[in-house]
Structure 1
């Protein structure tokens, strides 16, 4: 079956739950506005299940209702993992045997983004969810530049470290800052280094679309739930694999 409906109380009933904030104080008129919005979005009938004032002049709502939209899973576009998932031991062995030097990685949060939780989860030794970060891999040389790094500083550090890959985490997404920063970064690397000398450019964050890599000028996008092992395996696939064939 490729055609499906949302599930709420019973299979295929089309019920969905939606949350949003409106710039109005919480009162009966505000609740009516929330239901009007839900109706315009195709929820019929819509029920208001939660409303709470969020500071002066803002109210958070949760509405529950039925939609008639269908989803065709056969038409869903995703980025399939096209590389094997390796263990830390396997990653180290492949790099040592085929690259014959340590693989250099530079990571940072660029622009005004001060949220290092994402980049630290991938790079730091402690890692995330029981997986060690890239600093744990003995055949990887990791430089973590931290937060609020300017693009010129990132390019210069990558050049100085002879980076094979640059990993950038973007958590702040207001006004599509993550997209603007990524485009600026990829443009800076294209300007500073010739095609054969540029490091692999990888970005990650909860609001990225994996399908936008070409549009943003990067080699790979990782989204929420990515683990250090996945990133390490991709580095081996993209860098060691390509170099071993030259």
Structure 2
């Protein structure tokens, strides 16, 4: 298989992609020309405007379709590989009970002004997501869900009070990189409040995070789109039970 690839649209290797964006201009012919010029500067050859619609006073939403002039070398693609085994709920419970000897405490929240609890609830609540039950379903996990718009100092204090093993934070609001600022603030607050050996595992998740940015943001792990409760539970066991046992 070729390691150099292009997008697929109508035929293999034609490079065709569809791109949507908004420009701060009212909808007219000049706006449509600006959209096509932007597409050309982004590397789309022979871009066609397939949709344009005003979305407010002075703004227009566009969809363009064209051939990308760029190639991707698969050998140069960097991803965060899954470095732990995927466990069933029974395996998670058995590992915690047999090797930790107590329930593992998880504190979860949406911090800052983020009020979107869908993500954190999907992981924590017993109803779960994608056919999987959330962490509340696991007998050997003690889950404390603080909900939305939790101030960072309140999260730290509650994690300390609960003697949390792990803190899970969901961030959906990303305007002006709010998710990045909030995550850095949280990581700094835990570093200030607790010595290294006493800090809980810090895990963040959300659709706009880069999985490879954990070290930069000061957290232990980042989960993105498609994460399920069993993914998180398996990781927690790997870091808090299996790795500690091997030390």
After TM superposition, the score normalised by the length of structure 2 is: 0.98
Q: Is the 8 A contact 1:99 1:243 kept in 2?
A: no
Match of 1:212 in 2: 213
Match of 1:230 in 2: 231
State yes or no: 1:108 paired with 2:109. Answer: yes
Q: Considering only aligned residues, what root-mean-square deviation do their CA atoms show, in Å?
A: 0.8
How far is 1:92 from its partner? 0.3
How far is 1:245 from its partner? 3.0
Match of 2:50 in 1: 49
What CA distance in whole angstroms lies between the structure 1 residues aligned with 2:95 and 2:17? 47
Structure 1 outlier segments of 4+, above 3 Å: none
User: Which string of whole-angstrom CA distances, capped at 9 and with x for unpartnered residues, describes residues 1-37 of structure 1?
Assistant: 2100111111001111110001111111111111111
Unpaired stretches in structure 1, ≥5 consecutive residues: none
Match of 2:182 in 1: 181
Match of 1:73 in 2: 74
What SS does structure 2 have at the residue aligned with 1:9? coil
What SS does structure 2 have at the residue aligned with 1:51? strand
Match of 2:204 in 1: 203
What SS does structure 1 have at the residue aligned with 2:96? helix
Structure 1 segment 81-92 matched on structure 2, within 5 A: 81-92=82-93
Match of 1:120 in 2: 121
After TM superposition, the score normalised by the length of structure 1 is: 0.98
How far is 1:56 from its partner? 1.3
Unpaired stretches in structure 2, ≥5 consecutive residues: none
What CA distance in whole angstroms lies between the structure 2 residues aligned with 1:19 and 1:245? 49
What CA distance in whole angstroms lies between the structure 2 residues aligned with 1:170 and 1:67? 32
Instruction: Point out the more displaced range, 190-199 or 20-29.
Output: 20-29
How far is 1:241 from its partner? 1.3
